[in-house]
Amino acid sequence: MATYRSMLELKIPTRRAASLTGVSRTTANRKPAPPRDQLPVVPQNKLSTAERAGILAALNSPEFVDLAPMQVYTKLLDDGIYLGSLSTFYRVLEENKQVKERRRLAKHPPRAVPELVAAAPGQVFTWDITKLAGPVKGKYFDCYMMVDIHSRFIVGAHVHATESGVLAVEMMKGIFGIHGIPQVVHADRGTSMTTVAALLSDLEVTRSHSRPRVSNDNPYSEALFKTLKYGPEFPERFASVHDAGAFISGFVDWYNHHHQHSGIGFHTPANVHYGHAASVAAERSATLAAARAKHPERFTTTTDPKILALPGPAWINQPQEITEPSAA
């Protein structure tokens, strides 16, 4: 290092001196650390302990405790008082772990996670409302749709010009009259969903609601609407509410009686809902058994494919005690 410095005194460039002496220029130019026994120099502008305590006392005083540090700083200046800079105010608060929201705020308890299980049809219905584009921009029709989560069977679907809790109540009365009263009705927290509370209470039906802004709490209705709107025949707009109703009626018939749903072993929702899925599964197994007997070399197993298995319990937010895998 001494050789390097002597070369610098001889006006030799630093790059050349570093190359000749093998010393890194970064290391050579680094400011040497003070001796360990030498106390660090206290900045002249540092506030004393008493002054910092005075700032904290002012911030926590009844007059200023609910104000932001910037407001306290300016109010003190208005009163002709200067205790320190605004940055110092924040540093003092940070030292005392008080850099946070100083006002009293409402604290909302966390929403309970809905955990629902349906082991058979008719136990849990879920419903929602989706918008259907009308004949002109800004005009929409409302499609009310309710589905049984175990069978995926659409138990009711209506199209109206507006969203109304009264219409939702009428729809539910009709559905319950045909398909029976379920144990639970699940929905999100829309206005119409809360309007039906009196009806469900009178029928002793348990009400279940999704958490705010959590679409996964109503997966069956959301998936059903995607199947509806992403289909190749879904129009860009409907000419009238009657056209929309006719389209939804045709969709419900196809979905319930012809759509082989992957979540229920590729059975139709109607077969599962009305108890015909077991006989269909038996016929499929017999067909596969005959094929195995005729060409055993083409099969590596004697069991049916898992995709054809009969549906197990359906659930929303699988409870801890449910260990059997199921399609949700």
CATH value at residue 155: 3.30.420.10
Residues 132, 54 share a domain: no
Residues 250, 119 share a domain: yes
Residues 164, 131 share a domain: yes
According to the model, what pLDDT value does residue 319 have? Answer: 80
Full domain range(s) for residue 243: 111-328
Residues 120, 164 share a domain: yes
- Do the domain assignments include residue 133? yes
Structure tokens at 196: 């039906």
Residues 214, 66 share a domain: no
- Do the domain assignments include residue 44? no
Residues 6+ apart with CB under 8 A from 207: 184, 185, 197, 200, 201
- Do the domain assignments include residue 35? no
Q: Alpha-carbon distance 247 to 205, whole Å? A: 31
Q: Alpha-carbon distance 238 to 134, whole Å? A: 5
- Do the domain assignments include residue 105? no
Phi then psi for 186, rounded to 5 degrees? -110, 140
CB of 117 closer than 8 Å to CB of 315: yes
E strands, 173-322, are: 184-187, 206-209, 314-316
Q: How many CB atoms lie within 10 A of CB 50?
A: 7
List 159's β-bridge partners, or say none: 143
Tracing tokens 């199209």 back to the chain, one arrives at 159
Total count of domains within the chain:
3
According to the model, what pLDDT value does residue 103 have? Answer: 67
Structure tokens at 323: 């260990």
Structure tokens at 311: 């549906």
Residues 6+ apart with CB under 8 A from 281: 265, 267, 308, 310
Residue numbers of the chain with a pLDDT score lower than 70: 34, 37-39, 102-103, 321-328
Phi then psi for 218, rounded to 5 degrees? -135, 60
According to the model, what pLDDT value does residue 66 have? Answer: 85
- The pTM score is 0.67
- Do the domain assignments include residue 106? no
Residues 218, 76 share a domain: no
According to the model, what pLDDT value does residue 328 have? Answer: 41
- Do the domain assignments include residue 100? no
List 109's β-bridge partners, or say none: none
Residues 76, 137 share a domain: no
Residues 119, 89 share a domain: no
Residues 317, 218 share a domain: yes
- Do the domain assignments include residue 101? no
According to the model, what pLDDT value does residue 327 have? Answer: 44
The H or E element spanning position 134 is none
The H or E element spanning position 180 is none
- Do the domain assignments include residue 195? yes
Rg (CA), the chain: 36
Residues 145, 2 share a domain: no
Q: Alpha-carbon distance 317 to 122, whole Å? A: 19
H helix and E strand count, the chain: 13, 7
Residues 292, 255 share a domain: yes
Q: Alpha-carbon distance 204 to 198, whole Å? A: 10
**Residue type, position 146, single letter:** M
Residues 178, 62 share a domain: no
According to the model, what pLDDT value does residue 326 have? Answer: 46
